Amino acid sequence: MTTAIYTHKDCLNHIAPSGHPECEDRLRVILSAIEDKKYESLDRKEAQLANLEQIKLVHEEAHITAVSDNIPTDGNGYLDNDTYLSSGSEQAALRAAGAMCQAIDGVMAGDHENAFCAVRPPGHHAEPDHAMGFCLFNSVAIGAIYARTKHFCHRVAIIDFDVHHGNGTQTVAERTKGLFYASTHQSPLYPGTGHVHDHGKGVIVNVPLAAGSGSNAFRKAYENRVFPELEKFNPDFILISAGFDAHALDPLADLNLDTQDYYWVTKELMKLADKHAKGRLVSTLEGGYNLGVLDECAKAHISALMGA
């Protein structure tokens, strides 16, 4: 099984203010972890910049302009209380979105069977008209619309196991027939969205989980809710918002997963991709803020993608 890693040094130039959890060391620990010999077969790709047409698949021009116009020459600026900018932020966000589109192209061309985008900033909170929750552009939503418009994938599924609900991604699914969005997330928790009865033009499956739920509840949420609905949807491409902040040691939440839960959910999604989507699957990094366990979670996820 061939797995590609898409990344770029520009994603390290989104420089966090002191003490901010979404820092450049998040990417450094992942890239360092996959230097291990067991990952030498990964097909390593340099992420391209997304072009304006790709970003506009999801985002309004006023939002794109707001990001560009607020890039500081020195230090940090803020688009909201959580979402910062530095001089390298726009390039980093364009690489993150570009990686997703490029990875989809690679899978569709048969260059590799699946891919992980080791990029930042994350994206799933970014709404079509504004940045939010550390996120500038919504890479996974851009990828979903790109797969539909460029590659004529009519049923694109997005699975989001970040501990926070991907409000921006759901907004896009609410507006777009042919998308499937499923999220397991801690509730109540930021951003306060992701209710069980949410619906839209696309298929939306939210499974809010109480703080302290742990591995058993997480796995049952997928076995009883997400996987059956995904089977019915019959996707022709699966995208993953891979946030690792539901881990028991993460500082921003309390869902209490362990590293093996990420391996398990990835393997199960690969089985469904094999069954319904000719194995087509691309994943992108979202959250995960404990540097001591982020690398282990990412390695579990990547090892599963590699068929290990």
Please identify every residue annotated as catalytic.
Answer: 125
Q: Where are the beta strands (DSSP E) in the chain?
A: 3-7, 43-46, 77-78, 84-85, 114-117, 156-160, 179-186, 203-209, 237-242, 281-285
For the chain, the first-to-last Cα distance in angstroms comes to 9
Distance from C-alpha of 246 to C-alpha of 285, rounded to nearest angstrom? 13
Distance from C-alpha of 3 to C-alpha of 238, rounded to nearest angstrom? 15
Give the strand pairing for 114-117 and 281-285.
parallel
Q: What is the 3-state secondary structure (H, E, C) of 285-299?
A: ECCCCCHHHHHHHHH
Residue 228: count of CB within 10 angstroms of its CB: 12
